[in-house]
Every structure is written in C-alpha cells, then in structure tokens.
Amino acid sequence: MRVFVLVVTLLGLLVAPAAAEPPHGLYRSYVALGDSYTAGPGIPNQVGQPAGCARSDQNYPALLAQWLRIPQFTDVSCSGARTVDMTKPQRVSGGTNPPQFNALRADTDLVTVMIGGNDMGFGEILRTCGDLAARDQQGNPCERHYTAGGKDGIAARIAGVGPKLSAVLDGIRKRSPRAHVVVVGYLRILPSSGTCFPQVPLAAGDVPYFDRNSRALNAELGAQAARHQASFVNPYPYSHGHDACQAPDRKWVEGLFPSAPAAQMHPNARGMQAVGILSVPTVLFGRLQR
C-alpha cells in the first residue's frame, strides 16, 4: 500500500500544469497493444474503429499517454485479441482490426502489451466453471474438471502462453528496436478465498484454484518479459481487496452484474486508473535505467 501511495504522489506531480514537452523528454511515440483488459470495453467513452474492439479513452494506455504528455499515441488494443492478432487481422463486430503490429514503427519508443488471457481460453474457463458451480456451489467442480486424468489443463495452457508471448516480444523488438517494452499483467478478479456467487459464478472451493492459476499466468508474463529485457508491471498483488466481490466503491473489476460502466468480468474505470498509476514508475524509471 505504501508503494501505491508513493505512486499516487508521483502522479500528482506529473499531472501538474502542462508543459510543452513530456517529463524529462522520455517518450515521443507510444503504441499500446493488447486485449480487452487493455481496451476497456464498456468504460466511457468508447472510441476508435472498429467499434467491436471496444476501446475506451479512459483505459490505462490513454491515461499513461495523457499523464506523461506523450505527443504521438496509438492504441490498437482490441477486445478478444490473442497473440496471433499481433500479426494477423482480427474480425470483430463492425469490421476488422488490422494486425496490431502494423502500428509499430522504427521510431516508436514506448510499447505496452497485455496479452495471453484469451490464448489460455479465459472466457471458456469462466463459462465452464460457472456452469459447473451452478450444480455445486461449495465444492471445487472446476478444479476437478480441469485436473481430471492427473494433469492440470489450465496450467498446461498457461505454459503454452509463454512461447507465444516470447514470439510477440521478439516481433516488437524487430519492428521497434529502440522501444522501451513494458509487459502488463492482469488484475485480480476474485479474492484468494471465499466467494460471491452469483456475482462471480465460481464455486467456493474453486476460488483458490482460480487465484493460483491467475498468479501463474502473471508469473509467466513476467518471466517472458525478463527473458526479453522488457519491463513488467504486475497489478495483481495491489488489487487485493479490490476484486469483483467487493463493494462498488472498492472494486476494480466488475462481476456478472456490473455496478459501474464496464463489461462483465472486466476492469472498470477505477481498475484502469490503478493499472495506469502502478505502471508509471516502471514506464518512467525503467526507461531511465536502460
């Protein structure tokens, strides 16, 4: 919590009266890549094309660009994106999002990327676990389902995300060799124990299993960032007490019945602000250390 307070203090300095140049002249061209946890579906105001990408002008990349006064900002994040959509067009409602890598240039000097949740089948996992929990709210039917046969299927999917993210980071470096690349992890959805069924439709016994795998996914993202000399921001530990089971004024992620404008099971505006704030030290000082 002390770290979070220090970051908020730093942010207050950054958003002081506007200057003609970005702080320290660090960044001129910023490209944001990612999926819906970057784009911000349902958070006002929804901007950009195609509409199916559901980008918000209050998502964490937009906030970073504003706070750091970066002159050239391009957000190509798109809801539903997987790692393959970095290099291939993504069909969405209302059109096609071009390959996200198309936005990268040789002079791009900041890139943030949050990707991997859809590669591991995040939506399918929630649907499956929700269906199972409807018949067994106190047990761990989801864990039993995905570990049937003695192998943890979700853990295997997370391991499979690693090589895909590795290829993404190689692709960014090839196209923008001078960029400070920042991999951003995912927010907490559930507490480490307990449940708030049906707001988040997981059985009580499956909550620790979901928490363990959520931590594992973020750990894999962090490990790949380290291997590729990229920075890593992990908001997960800081979102303790801000999961979807909390009161409306505390939650950073919404459940099945949102109490703030946001998509189901996705960050709200507070969550985006938190990720942005937590990213500031890494984005600033990580660059200074390079």
* Cα–Cα nearest to 268, from 285, 248, 282, 286: 248
Helix (H) or strand (E) holding 232: strand 231-233
Q: Quick check: is 266 catalytic?
A: yes
Distance separating the N- and C-terminal Cα atoms of the chain: 27
CB atoms within 10 A of CB 269: 19
The neighbouring-strand residues paired with 111 are: 31, 181
DSSP state of 45: P
Using an 8 Å Cβ cutoff, are 113 and 184 in contact? yes
Q: Quick check: is 24 catalytic?
A: no
* Cα–Cα nearest to 107, from 84, 63, 74, 60: 74
Phi–psi pair at 221, nearest 5 degrees? -60, -40
Q: Would you call 50 exposed, middle or buried from its count of C-beta atoms within 10 A (0-12, 13-18, 19+)?
A: middle
**Active-site pick, 231, 242, 266, 279:** 266
**Active-site pick, 29, 36, 56, 77:** 36
Angle between helices 153-175 and 207-227 in degrees, nearest 10: 30
Using an 8 Å Cβ cutoff, are 243 and 30 in contact? no
CA 252 to chain centroid: 12
Query: Active-site residue numbers?
Result: 36, 266
